[in-house]
Amino acid sequence: MLTFSSSDRVFVLTGAGVSAESGIPTFRGVGGLWRNYRIEEVASPHAWHRDPRLVWEFYSMRRRVASAAKPNPAHFALAKLENILQGHLFVCTQNVDNLHEQAGSRNVVHMHGQLFKSRCDTCSHPPFDDANLYEPPAEVPRCECGGRIRPHICWFGEVPFELDQIYHALDQCTLFIAVGTSGVVEPAASFVAHVAGRARTVYVGPENPANASSFTECYLGKAGEVLPDLLGAL
Ligand code: OAD
């Protein structure tokens, strides 16, 4: 069990594994999304320019799956930790679902965007809430400026969101906890190396991530089973 002192600043990085027990597929590994879809066909600026309807078909499928999902004990444990640590917990997720928020987390940074938001690919109107499914034969929706409405997602080749805020929190943290992320996608995979040497670094997931050597401790098991215990009878 981890213990927290009032001087601790806790940074939690979550990946697809934290939502796996809620029924949302991970990307890599058995049953992973990237076994059935090619990144360059559905999750890149190139894909968007070449076939935006196919991109929307992929994200509409993901919206449908995520709409049916409910938070699991790992999401709830993190929401409770936020209440206990007040402003001393920073949750950064690579996930585009809203299960942290559904569990009650109020301050979550979505570095790879949000599945239930869209934005114009041309003008600077801010992203807006959007749970619609845009599947063929539906046309790709248009902004009033004439641009195409795209998912508010960080695609491969694009810069993740909120990096200034994220690195500021990393620079302050004394305890870094990564949950359910394979440790291969940058820049998130290097967050642990950024804090290593001055912060305690903990990984939770069923197998060691690719960057396991940078962690001081790895707790192997499912997030929904390990995390509530690790965070202490919450
Ligand atoms: P991955 O699919 O790469 O890795 C998921 C991790 O979750 C693996 O290490 C699994 O071992 C672990 N896992 C599986 N079940 C789990 C469970 N019940 N509890 C805890 N862990 C479990 O997903 P990410 O590392 O999140 O980006 O992927 C990072 C980024 O790559 C994603 O945000 C996405 C993807 O391509 C974009 O789409 C931009």
pLDDT, tens only, 12-26: 999 999 999 999 999
Nearest CA residue ID for atom 8, ligand 1: 182
Q: Which of 14, 93, 181, 186 to mutate to test the pocket of ligand 1 (most atoms within 8 A of CB)?
A: 181
pLDDT at 31: 87
User: Six-digit token pair at 212?
Assistant: 């396991």
Placement of tokens 């070449």 in the chain? 50
Q: How far is the CA of 224 from the centre of ligand 1 (A)?
A: 14
Task: Give the residue from 206, 218, 173, 205 showing the smallest Cα distance to 191.
Answer: 173
- Give percent of the chain above pLDDT 70: 99
Q: Which of 26, 91, 218 to mutate to test the pocket of ligand 1 (most atoms within 8 A of CB)?
A: 26
Residues lining ligand 1, Cβ inside 6 A: 15-17, 20-21, 26-29, 32, 43, 94, 112, 154, 180-182, 185, 205-207, 209, 222-223
Sheet holding 217-220, edge to edge: 108-110, 89-93, 10-14, 175-179, 200-205, 217-220
pLDDT at 14: 98
Q: Which sequence positions are flagged as catalytic?
A: 112
Band the pLDDT of 234: cuts 50, 70, 90: low
Placement of tokens 């396991």 in the chain? 212
Full set of structural domains in the chain with CATH: 1-24+71-112+159-234 (3.40.50.1220), 25-68+116-153 (3.30.1600.10)
pLDDT at 233: 53
Q: How far is the CA of 209 from the centre of ligand 1 (A)?
A: 10
Instruction: Tell which atom from ligand 1 comes closest to the C-alpha of 153.
Output: 39
Report the sign of the C-alpha dihedral through residues 55, 56, 57, 61, in that order. Answer: positive
Q: How far is the CA of 110 from the centre of ligand 1 (A)?
A: 14
Instruction: For residue 78, list its beta bridge partners.
Output: none
Residue 46, pLDDT above cutoff 80: yes
| Residue 129 three-state SS | strand
pLDDT at 86: 87
Quick one: 90 exposed, middle or buried, by C-beta within 10 A (0-12, 13-18, 19+)?
buried
Instruction: Tell which atom from ligand 1 comes closest to the C-alpha of 74.
Output: 19
Half-sphere exposure of 96 (CA within 13 A, CB side): 27
Band the pLDDT of 148: cuts 50, 70, 90: very high
pTM for this structure? 0.97
In tens, the pLDDT along 63-88 reads 999 999 999 999 999 999 999 998 99
| Residue 41 three-state SS | helix
Residue 129, pLDDT above cutoff 70: yes
Average pLDDT on 36-60 reads: 94
Instruction: Tell which atom from ligand 1 comes closest to the C-alpha of 95.
Output: 33
Q: How far is the CA of 211 from the centre of ligand 1 (A)?
A: 13
Residue 227, pLDDT above cutoff 90: yes
Residue 137, pLDDT above cutoff 90: no
Contact status, residue 149 vs residue 141, Cβ threshold 8 Å: yes
- Give percent of the chain above pLDDT 90: 90
Average model confidence (pLDDT) across the chain = 96
Q: How far is the CA of 16 from the centre of ligand 1 (A)?
A: 4
Instruction: Tell which atom from ligand 1 comes closest to the C-alpha of 34.
Output: 36
Average pLDDT on 111-133 reads: 98
